[in-house]
Structure 1
Amino acid sequence: MTVVRALQPPPEAPLQVARVLHTAGFEAWFVGGCVRDRLLGREVGDWDLTTNARPEQVIPLFARTIPTGIAHGTVTVVLGGSSIEVTTYRVELGYSDGRRPDGVAFTDDLRRDLERRDFTINAMAWDPDRGLLVDPFGGQADLADRCLRAVGRAFDRFSEDGLRTLRAIRFATVLDFDIEPLTFAAIRETLAVFRQVSAERIHVELVKILGSPHAGRGLSWLIESGLLDEFLPGLPLEASSIADALRVAVPSLTVRCALLFGELHDPAAGLTRLKFSLAQRRDILAVLASREIDPEAVLTDADARRFVAKVGKENLDAIEGYQAALSADQTAWSGLFGRLSRCGARDAPVTARELALTGHDVMSRLALPPSREVGRIVQALIERVLEAPELNDAETLAALLPEVAASLRPDER
């Protein structure tokens, strides 16, 4: 147990929960990620407490609690609009499925609780009122050295829960740490355990890796460790070039996913397998569709507006970021996006929704029933406006309706 330098105390609600436990005669320590992030000076997300009090002793101390995981010793205390998880010191009774403990046993020994945790930097406990830090495995030293190290034997930690291998790379990527060599070696040694991890859990960690400023480094670790080939088989041997692209890519999850999944034979299948949402898949695939476009074929302002209509205004920034990271020769694509800016194509009317005349207006003015013909007339109006945006005025378009309708071939009506 050591005395730590003055740290900014936790917010009032979690601090009050700890003090209530102390007043009732129990130990209470902030533990895990909140301690790590406070020592690093990073913003803390969740404030978690560990205590020697059993759940049935915690619950009566507070006006509102939620039995989040009673069997595993966790009670959520709701106080002042905040939710604070309070978990009894525990040891875990084996992992037969490589995902979750077969059972837990409560203990009164804080050290035994800390030694079940994944990494040294997550295995520290802090009492801010007394200024004390319990750090039995050298977490502070590893923070100072910017080193990610497993608690105890890395092979054992990763064999308990296969997700820890991916979490190792995620933590090192997000924090910009090195991975201790024996810890990294154990990732490849426990790939068989990782294969039991669900796609949903992989998705969460992968998104955090790709969202990091150091995503390129993280992808290099995924490749070197063999993890990437486990959940994204089929990437080409030169996948390291993707890591290089990620190093210069804009901080956009859509762009970075496009760079990674775009190397697969079937990007849509890969995104679906790893549980990306429908909206995420749509955006990523829209960016990948830009690979079929020849930027040198966009020769006029009207071409530029047609390009915007084809790819969608909402995808322009992502496509620009993707092509900037991907293309060795930026001349053609930078020229295209320069034209978009000069001619105002980003703001020009390019879809039916942006027309000054609606489908209902077309039916009313031409006395037409709902039909495919109405849709074709609207599309013809869009083509006129793409050529000359100044035509996008209700009366101007209305005056063009007879001519546009007459210009359609009989089989188009």
Structure 2
Amino acid sequence: MMAIENGPRLLVHQQRFGVATPSLGHFEQFIAVLFLDFLVRFQPCHRNEHDILFVPRHWPRESPVSHNAFSQSAEQKEKRGGMVEGPTLTKGLPADLEGEPCPPQLVRWLATLNNDLLSILETIAEEGEGVWLVGGCVRDAWLGAPSTDVDLCTTSTPDRLLTLFGDRAIPTGVDFGTVTVKGNDGHFEITTLRTESLYRDGRRPEQVNWGASLSEDLSRRDFTFNSMAVDVARQLLYDPYNGLSDLRGRTVRAVGDAGLRCEEDALRILRAYRFMRRDDGPLWALEPTLHAAILEHRGRLNMVAIERRWMELQKIVSASRPGEVLDRMQNDGVLRFVFTDLTVLNPVLFHLIDQPAFAPMDLNQRLAILMCEHATKDAVAQLQALRTSKELQRSMAMFHEQLGFLPEPRKAAIRVFNHVMGSAAEHHLAAHETMADHSVNLHTGLETNLQDIIAVKRLWNQIERPMEAQPCLVDGHWIMARTGAVEGMRLGRLKQWLHRIQIEEGLTTLTEMEAALSKLPYEHGDFEAWPTPSFP
């Protein structure tokens, strides 16, 4: 039952109840009530008014209606109950395979498509061409997962797309049929339906021909849940390989011949492992024939550009709880084709990296943990072999070479630790706490003692942590004016010594700095032995 009243709206559906002034949330609740019987869309009209557009599932799809159910103006309230014709998308060329009505999850998703995308669909369909949403966006919509990319496929050729969209079109991959169209809120990749020749190099087809068959286009894709397409205008789902069934069954299954799919592009092997981790539940299953094909063709990964292999590994390591996936990859003899220099990693680390303490860690820190038993220079060499960015190599090395070291359980030492480590300080302590009492042989040869870590963390939690590293309050000219020192290494080291004292004692004024300087025996001694603001 649902009731709608004037003034503050009252929504009652089963046992859900809410009272509030009109809001977007009400529109979404209204849709949730209706979607089983209607194909529904809501869209803004003007000012604070919204139209709710819906097509009863048993009515002709060509006759949508619009009902101003939640208008906030008096004029619209008087008209509430009136039925007017609503806008519809032009139906383009139909697909060459049978579709089915979109399930509720996809209906809700279609109701949220933005105007940029709808405009692109309309432009192509008005030309008499077929156009469909395809691949990962359909998969993620059914799963309720966020999707950053919405891909389209069409019977329109790349040249025609470039003409249709003019300055908005970017020829990103026209040789393979892909044109990117710029919108107000993002870019959309549109790929022409195509047929392909053999993949002799294990990376790309030797020849691509434009086609008009959605069925054939879907047949060349990697996995069943990526071979689904949606006709937005007709609200139809095309799922010739039962991708929805595999989503429900949490199964990664190849489209057609699994061996052929792996031969065509061996990167699909790494993609298969990536799709095994879709949530925090158990790993998705590799369908047996796909698993057998992976074991048979894993050597073909050497034919794939190392940059492409790294892109997949990066996604795997960055995802939630990657350890179990990496463990499967190592057991199946696949990981060594990505970690080409460090061919064996400690399985204990795979278990540890799935612990909650590692969830907020950045990619560089996770990589450092995975390679923590290898020397820093070897870990950096592995990232260089993967052709990662210099910044990733630098940040990984910094975190990596500090593993095994803890600050002394003194507030002064912990302040310096915070200054050097910055936002990584918490992750450094969490990593050591998690690794304590496990069979991990850190490259530094140091052992982590749980009681020492607890003592440091207790003090660390008591100390106020600045949002960013604090620069030295004084410069060389200030020091020279008060000490008579001359420019040179001795002056530089004296400044570093003062900076460390500033951090250790939390000094904030020049008066405090001058008092600290007066206590230092800077006129004598080996300046190279003076303290610096460093860790360890």
**TM-score, normalization by structure 2:** 0.70
**Does the 8 A contact of 1:174 with 1:214 survive in 2?**
no
The corresponding residue for 2:294 is 187
- Work out the CA distance in 2 between the residues paired with 1:391 and 1:126: 63
- Name the stretch that deviates more: 81-90 or 162-171: 81-90
The corresponding residue for 1:379 is 496
**Superposed counterparts of 1:198-217, under 5 Å:** 198-217=305-324
Deviations for 1:316-362, whole angstroms, at most 9, x for unmatched residues? 02212322332236332132122122244x4499x8x5333222321
The corresponding residue for 2:95 is none
* Higher-helix-fraction structure: 1
- The reply on whether 1:19 has 2:122 as its aligned counterpart is yes
1:225 alignment partner, one of 332, 343, 347: 332
- Work out the CA distance in 1 between the residues paired with 2:210 and 2:507: 75
Gaps of 5+ in 2: 1-98, 438-448, 531-536
Question: Offset of 1:183 from its aligned partner?
Answer: 1.1
The corresponding residue for 1:334 is 454
The corresponding residue for 2:481 is 364
- Work out the CA distance in 2 between the residues paired with 1:377 and 1:405: 10
AA paired with 2:264?
E
AA paired with 1:397?
M
Greater relative contact order structure (CA < 8 Å, 6+ sep): 1
The corresponding residue for 1:325 is 434
**Superposed counterparts of 1:252-263, under 5 Å:** 252=361, 253-263=363-373
Shift in alpha-carbon separation, 1:406–1:219, aligned structure 2, 3 A:
closer
The corresponding residue for 2:412 is 302
- Work out the CA distance in 2 between the residues paired with 1:390 and 1:110: 67
**Superposed counterparts of 1:148-159, under 5 Å:** 148-159=252-263
- Work out the CA distance in 2 between the residues paired with 1:290 and 1:79: 45
Deviations for 1:27-58, whole angstroms, at most 9, x for unmatched residues? 11111111111121222222211111222333
AA paired with 1:279?
E
- Work out the CA distance in 2 between the residues paired with 1:67 and 1:233: 35
1:4 alignment partner, one of 102, 112, 122: 102
Question: Offset of 1:405 from its aligned partner?
Answer: 5.8
Residues paired across the two proteins, number: 406
The corresponding residue for 1:290 is 402
**Does the 8 A contact of 2:138 with 2:230 survive in 1?**
yes
**Superposed counterparts of 1:35-54, under 5 Å:** 35-54=138-157
**Does the 8 A contact of 2:253 with 2:287 survive in 1?**
yes
- The reply on whether 1:172 has 2:172 as its aligned counterpart is no
The corresponding residue for 1:160 is 264
Moved over 4 A (4+): 233-238, 410-413
SS in 2 for 1:14: helix
**Does the 8 A contact of 1:236 with 1:263 survive in 2?**
no
AA paired with 1:404?
L
- Name the stretch that deviates more: 251-260 or 401-410: 401-410
Question: Offset of 1:157 from its aligned partner?
Answer: 0.7
- Work out the CA distance in 1 between the residues paired with 2:101 and 2:239: 11
Deviations for 1:111-145, whole angstroms, at most 9, x for unmatched residues? 11111111111111101221111111111111111
SS in 2 for 1:279: helix
Question: Offset of 1:307 from its aligned partner?
Answer: 3.8
Pairwise CA RMSD: 2.6
Deviations for 1:182-219, whole angstroms, at most 9, x for unmatched residues? 21222221122101222221222112111221312211
Shift in alpha-carbon separation, 1:281–1:60, aligned structure 2, 3 A:
closer
Q: Which has the larger radius of gyration?
A: 2
Deviations for 1:41-87, whole angstroms, at most 9, x for unmatched residues? 22222221111122233333334322222222222222334322221
**TM-score, normalization by structure 1:** 0.89
**Superposed counterparts of 1:8-157, under 5 Å:** 8-9=109-110, 10-63=113-166, 64-157=168-261
The corresponding residue for 2:348 is 241
**Does the 8 A contact of 1:261 with 1:271 survive in 2?**
no
**Does the 8 A contact of 1:245 with 1:259 survive in 2?**
no
Gaps of 5+ in 1: none
- Work out the CA distance in 1 between the residues paired with 2:143 and 2:527: 69
